Amino acid sequence: MNSRVFLAIFICLSSSIGLSKHIECDLTLDDFKPLITNGEIQNRIIEMAKQINHDYAGQELTLIMIMKGAVCIASDLMQKITVPCTIEHMQASSYGQNGTHAGVLTLKGIENIDFEGKHILLVDDIFDTGATITKIKAELAQYNPASIKSAVLLVKNKARAMQEVPEYIAFTIENQFVIGYGLDYKELYRGLPDIWVKKD
Ligand code: IMP
Ligand code: MG
């Protein structure tokens, strides 16, 4: 076989393998089933906000949305918080473009926020390994806040969590991949009102 024919066969084979991989890992809503309804989420958020209002009574709170996953829970939670509260945001990306596989964790936007002497409440979508919240807490501690706690919609696979779990948790779920209410698959599905779980 001459080298040109070999090269042509190699290119054909590698592109067809790449194509089938792409098709295999592309998920649609048919690959998911409903897990938690928006009504159930709203009820838990009311309970979480009650606890937060009780715990921070007489204090001022700085709520920090970890974007983009926290967009729904932060929006609903802040409307139920009755203690004086300012809202800030920062961005954490822990998943690569694969959608379900963790990539390098990057944080953006810390430099725009004043943490000194503030009671900080981090709000995030999901606590999976705990790496994101643990890293953010460690970074923010350098800026001398009065306190740092966290509130999350979901804690996944509690047993695998590396550090102590967030102070405020709406739901604990199994170690399954979920989308909706802020949670994405390849940046899609964040706007679903309910939480959906990937079928087995
Ligand atoms: P951790 O650092 O392992 O706790 O992961 C936290 C981040 O990973 C979350 O803020 C999400 O952006 C992402 N993540 C973890 N599990 C899921 C999931 O099931 N669906 C969508 N995103 C997830
Ligand atoms: Mg995400």
Active site residue 55: no
Report the alpha-carbon angle 119-45-88, nearest 5: 35
Mention every residue, 6+ apart, whose C-beta is less than 8 A from residue 19: none
Closest ligand to Cα 152 = 1
Q: How far apart are CA 141 and CA 183, in angstroms?
A: 27
pLDDT band at 197; cut points 50, 70, 90:
very high
State residue 21's pLDDT score: 42
Q: Is a pLDDT exceeding 70 seen at residue 49?
A: yes
Q: Mean pLDDT over residues 133-162, rounded? A: 88
List, in sequence order, every beta strand (DSSP E) within 26-84. 32-36, 61-67
pLDDT digits (tens, 9 = 90+) for 50-95: 999 999 999 999 999 999 999 999 999 999 999 999 999 999 986 5
In the reported structure, the alpha carbon of residue 130 is separated from the centroid of ligand 1 by a whole-number distance in angstroms of 9
**8 Å CB contact between 85 and 67:** no
Question: For the chain, what is the mean pLDDT?
Answer: 87
Alpha carbons within 13 A on the beta-carbon side of 24: 6
- Ligand 1 touching residue 145 (CB < 6 A): no
pTM (2 decimals)?
A: 0.85
